[in-house]
C-alpha cells in the first residue's frame, strides 16, 4: 500500500487538470474491474458486478494547487489558490507547475513580521529576472512540491488528501478481484474530479449511475495534536465513520450499518462529527431524488497543507471494512406511497 500511495501522491493532479493522476489510476484498475470508463467531466468510473443494488464508492483524485494570474516585469509570478489553500502554509514552500517549472513562494516585506500575509502579498520566484525569461503564462497551474516520506507506521506527503482515499479504493478493488470475493451487488468505484473546488465531479457521476447507496472515502482532521481541534479523532485508532460535516448529515441507517459491520468483524472505527469541511458525500446525497449516503474517512493531521500525515494502518483497516460492507448489502426500508 505504501508504494502505491507514494506513486499516487507524487503524480500531479490539481483540480480541473487530473489527466496525469487519472492515467496512473486507470493503469492500476483496468485489469481488476468488469468495465471502466471516463465520463464527460473526467471522472474515472470502474464497475464490479452486473446485478443487484448499485453502490457508489467515491474518492476524489484532485489535489490543491495554484494558478498564475499575473507576471510582473521582473518575472515574479502572482497566483491564486486552486482549492482551499491557506497562506500560512505557503511561505517558503515550493511549487511545481505542470510544465515542469519549479518555483519558491515568497512574500512582500511587511512591517509586522508576525502577521500572516494575504494571497495578494505572495508571489512565486521561478529564478528569472524578467517577464520575457519567465517560462509561465497566465492560467498555468501547479501543485505543491513535497516528497513522500515513510515514517514507519505513519507517512507524510503532499496530497494525502485524497490520494490515500484513492489508494483505499484501488486496494479494495484489488482484494475483491484477487480473492474472488462474491459481492451481491453492483459496485461503482468512482475516482472523482474537482472535489477541492466545490464537489463537482461526484454529483455528475452519481446522476449517471443513480446509486442506491453512496459512500465517500476521504480524509478527515484529527484532534490528537497539542492544543488541537476538538475532534474525537486520533491517528491509529481506525478509520472514521462519518456522522456529520459542514455539507451533509449522513443517513442514520448508513451509519448504523457501518458501525454494526465494523463491530461484527472486530474492526476498529471512530465516529466523525466534523464542524468544517466536506466530501463527495454531499454531492452524492442530493443527486436525482436523493441517495442514502455516508462516508468512511481516514484521520489525517495538517490537512490542506503541503505536508499531511496519516497512519497507514487506518487505511488498511478502511480496506477491510469496505470489503465487509460490500459483502453485507445495505437494505434500507423502501419508500411507501401514502394518500391523504
**Domain final residue pick, 144, 171, 188:** 144
Is residue 213 assigned to a domain? yes
Regarding whether 188 and 236 lie in a shared domain, the answer is yes
Task: Locate 168 and state its grid cell.
Answer: 483505499
Regarding whether 16 and 105 lie in a shared domain, the answer is no
Regarding whether 140 and 127 lie in a shared domain, the answer is yes
pLDDT in tens, 234-283: 999 999 999 999 999 999 999 999 999 999 999 999 999 999 999 999 99
Regarding whether 252 and 190 lie in a shared domain, the answer is yes
Regarding whether 234 and 103 lie in a shared domain, the answer is no
How many Cα atoms occupy the beta-carbon half-sphere of 75 within 13 Å?
A: 12
Regarding whether 166 and 131 lie in a shared domain, the answer is no
Q: Burial code of 82-116, b = ≥16 C-beta within 10 A, e = fewer?
A: bbebebebbeebebbbbeebebebbbeeeeeeeee
210 pLDDT tier (thresholds 50, 70, 90) = very high
Sign (positive/negative) of CA torsion 293, 326, 316, 18?
negative
Is residue 262 assigned to a domain? yes
Is residue 153 assigned to a domain? no
Is residue 282 assigned to a domain? yes
Regarding whether 126 and 261 lie in a shared domain, the answer is no
Strands (E), the chain: 35-38, 44-48, 54-60, 65-71, 77-82, 94-97, 102-107, 122-125, 141-144, 149-150, 154-157, 186-192, 213-220, 240-244, 270-273, 293-301, 308-311
Question: Where is pLDDT greater, at 228 or 301?
Answer: 301
Give 100's contacts (C-beta < 8 A, 6+ positions apart): none
Report whether pLDDT(42) > 60.
yes
Paired with 156 in beta bridges are 149, 309
Which residue carries 423502501 as its cell?
A: 334
Regarding whether 126 and 272 lie in a shared domain, the answer is no
Number of domains composing the chain = 2
pLDDT in tens, 230-246: 889 999 999 999 999 99
pLDDT in tens, 74-97: 999 999 999 999 999 999 999 999
Regarding whether 107 and 30 lie in a shared domain, the answer is no
Q: Which of 161, 178, 112 is nearest to 278 (CA)?
A: 161
Contact between residue 214 and residue 284 where contact means Cβ atoms under 8 Å apart: yes
Is residue 256 assigned to a domain? yes
Is residue 336 assigned to a domain? no
At residue 262, what are phi and psi to the nearest 5 degrees?
A: -60, -45
Report whether pLDDT(333) > 70.
no
**Domain final residue pick, 98, 120, 144:** 144
Regarding whether 115 and 93 lie in a shared domain, the answer is yes
Report whether pLDDT(335) > 50.
no
Report whether pLDDT(204) > 90.
yes
Percent of the chain with pLDDT over 70: 97
Full domain range(s) for residue 289: 2-63+158-327
CA distance 211 to 95: 38
CA distance 205 to 164: 20
Residue-level pLDDT at 92:
92
pLDDT in tens, 146-192: 999 999 999 999 999 999 999 999 999 999 999 999 899 999 999 99
Residue-level pLDDT at 151:
97
DSSP summary character for residue 87: G
User: Which residues are designated catalytic?
Assistant: 195
pLDDT in tens, 119-133: 999 999 999 999 999
Number of H helices, E strands in the chain: 7, 17
What's this model's pTM, rounded to 2 decimal places?
0.94
Write the CATH number for 98: 2.40.30.40
Amino acid at each position: 500500500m505504501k508504494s502505491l500511495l507514494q506513486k499516487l501522491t507524487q503524480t500531479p493532479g490539481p483540480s480541473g487538470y487530473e489527466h496525469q493522476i487519472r492515467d496512473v489510476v486507470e493503469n492500476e484498475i483496468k485489469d481488476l474491474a468488469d468495465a471502466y470508463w471516463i465520463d464527460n467531466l473526467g471522472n474515472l468510473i470502474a464497475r464490479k458486478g452486473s446485478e443487484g443494488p448499485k453502490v457508489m464508492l467515491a474518492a476524489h483524485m484532485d489535489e490543491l494547487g495554484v494558478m498564475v494570474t499575473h507576471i510582473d516585469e521582473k518575472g515574479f509570478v502572482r497566483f491564486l489558490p486552486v482549492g482551499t489553500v491557506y497562506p500560512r502554509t505557503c511561505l517558503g514552500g515550493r511549487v511545481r507547475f505542470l510544465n515542469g517549472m519549479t518555483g519558491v513562494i515568497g512574500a512582500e516585506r511587511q512591517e509586522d513580521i508576525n502577521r500572516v500575509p494575504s494571497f495578494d502579498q505572495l508571489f512565486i520566484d521561478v529564478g528569472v529576472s524578467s517577464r520575457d525569461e519567465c517560462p509561465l503564462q497566465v492560467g498555468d497551474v501547479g501543485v505543491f512540491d513535497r516528497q513522500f516520506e515513510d515514517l514507519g507506521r505513519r507517512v507524510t506527503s503532499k496530497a494525502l488528501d485524497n490520494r490515500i482515499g484513492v489508494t483505499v479504493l484501488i486496494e479494495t478493488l484489488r482484494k475483491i478481484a484477487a480473492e474472488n470475493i462474491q459481492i451481491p451487488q453492483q459496485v461503482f468505484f468512482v475516482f472523482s474530479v474537482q472535489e477541492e473546488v466545490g464537489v463537482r465531479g461526484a454529483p455528475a457521476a452519481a446522476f449517471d449511475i443513480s446509486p442506491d447507496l453512496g459512500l465517500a472515502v476521504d480524509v478527515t482532521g484529527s484532534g490528537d495534536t497539542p492544543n488541537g481541534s476538538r475532534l474525537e479523532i486520533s491517528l491509529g485508532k481506525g478509520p472514521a465513520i462519518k456522522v456529520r460535516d459542514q455539507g451533509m448529515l449522513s443517513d442514520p441507517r448508513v451509519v448504523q450499518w457501518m458501525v454494526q459491520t465494523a463491530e461484527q468483524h472486530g474492526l476498529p472505527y471512530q465516529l466523525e462529527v466534523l464542524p468544517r469541511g466536506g466530501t463527495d458525500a454531499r454531492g452524492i446525497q442530493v443527486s436525482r431524488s436523493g441517495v442514502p449516503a455516508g462516508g468512511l474517512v481516514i484521520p489525517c493531521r495538517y490537512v490542506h497543507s503541503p505536508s499531511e500525515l496519516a497512519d497507514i494502518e487506518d487505511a488498511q483497516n478502511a480496506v477491510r471494512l469496505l470489503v465487509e460492507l460490500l459483502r453485507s448489502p445495505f437494505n434500507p426500508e423502501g419508500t411507501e406511497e401514502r394518500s391523504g
